[in-house]
Amino acid sequence: MTEPMHLSPSPSMQMTDYHSRRLGLSFASIGAHLGLVYLGKELVYEFGLTSEEDSIRKVVSESIQNWIRSVVFLAPTTILTFVENGKEMELKLVRLPEAEVPVFVLVLLEKGLSLVSRNWDDLSNQVLTFCATGISLREKNLLDFETITEPIRKRMEKAFSGETKTGVIAFFHLQDLSPFFKPMGVIKSQEILREVTTTLHKETKENEFNFQLNPRSYFLFCPGESLDGANNRFGSLYFPSKHLILDYKLKIFPIDSEILGDDAKFSSIFLENF
């Protein structure tokens, strides 16, 4: 098994040693000589070393825009082969099922080594946990928000393409859950996040949608809803999780086509509440 000695999270992902090393062990356990994680177009994690790093980065920079448009979820594809230290190597690409932000994993394996679905599932869980936790801690900057919010803006624009022209965004900012992640472990931590999402799903009507920016920030978009109506719906909402009742702050913002079309106004909602 490759030892996870070279672990490099992106500087913008202010990760704990626990999360970085846990992801490194996941790459090592499948025999990866190299593991790369891209959040959108940004390389946020690197495991291992290879003499072909420059070639790999070139392939990524030339192809990632096309991957964002066309690569389907959980369908590993070989994108590069080469010989290193007398061994034939394959670089495999897989896109993970994250709805709003494209997440890609590149794994360098010895040629002929195939991974069963269980291996990919475990690696996927570790990568998505890493990204979710890292986003919640990363520094705020407009480039990050453009990557995250542009798909959200497009979905909202579709909702306003008919007779409905106004609505609200309900913002739920939960208490800091990171102190629970390390003592509870990855599985239990994921269960907390899933329960929060389940609660929001139950509150989401057919013409609405909710989205998670990080483990603390959740939004619910309600086209056609008024401020008073949203306050009545969400003012007494609570998030049960195991033996906890999670504390949160609620903010509700009116939104219309004018706000969606104004980059400064639209971005400010997310920048102030990320």
| pLDDT tens digits, one per residue of 173-197 | 887 766 666 566 655 666 777 788 8
- The single-letter DSSP state of residue 99 is S
The CATH code for residues 7-136 is: 3.30.450.30
Tell me the pLDDT tens digit for each residue of 126-179.
Answer: 787 777 665 544 444 434 556 667 778 888 888 888 889 999 999 988 877 666
Residue 167 pLDDT? 94
Domain ranges of the chain: 7-136, 142-273
Axis crossing angle, helix 178-203 with helix 117-137, rounded to the nearest 10: 100
pLDDT score recorded for residue 47: 86
pLDDT at residue number 223:
94
Report strand pairing: 239-241 vs 209-212. Answer: unpaired
pTM of the predicted protein model: 0.48
Task: Return the closest-CA partner of residue 234 out of 245, 221, 243.
Answer: 221
What's the CATH architecture for 142-273? 2-Layer Sandwich (3.30)
Comparing 32-41, 87-96, 189-198, the range with the smallest average pLDDT is 189-198
pLDDT for residue 242: 64
Among 47, 40, 39, which Cα is nearest to 19's? 47
Region 225-247: mean pLDDT is 83
Q: Shortest CA distance to 120 belongs to which of 250, 16, 30, 7?
A: 30
